[in-house]
């Protein structure tokens, strides 16, 4: 098995890991159980990881990190909006 496929599969799972939470927050208009501090740490780490992936120039790594960080940012917006 080509290890790149394994990395891509894992990366996509991470990138879209918050999608079920985003859908639930949009449906219920509730984010009270989400920790804003956890989201901020994950978002900041995602920004750093995205910057690193741009630095090394790996397009798959860049795409996955941009998607993951974007989903975290969207969840942060929902957290603030649905307080």
| Nearest CA among 18, 14, 19 for reference residue 60 | 14
Q: What is the pLDDT of residues 42-78, one digit of tens each?
A: 999 999 999 999 999 988 899 999 999 999 999 999 9
Q: Where are the domains of the chain?
A: 15-81
57: left (phi over 0), alpha (psi -120 to 50) or beta: left
Q: pTM to 2 decimals?
A: 0.88
Q: How many CA atoms are closer than 13 Å to the CA of 61, on its beta-carbon side?
A: 13
CATH top-level class for 15-81? mainly alpha
């Amino acid at each position: 098995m080509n290890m790149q496929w394994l990395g891509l599969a894992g990366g996509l799972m991470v990138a879209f890991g918050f999608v079920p939470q985003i859908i639930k927050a949009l449906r219920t208009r509730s984010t009270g159980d989400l920790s804003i501090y956890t989201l901020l740490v994950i978002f900041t780490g995602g920004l750093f990881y995205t910057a690193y992936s741009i630095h090394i120039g790996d397009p798959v790594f860049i795409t996955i990190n941009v998607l993951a960080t974007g989903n975290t940012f969207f969840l942060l917006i929902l957290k603030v909006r649905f307080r």
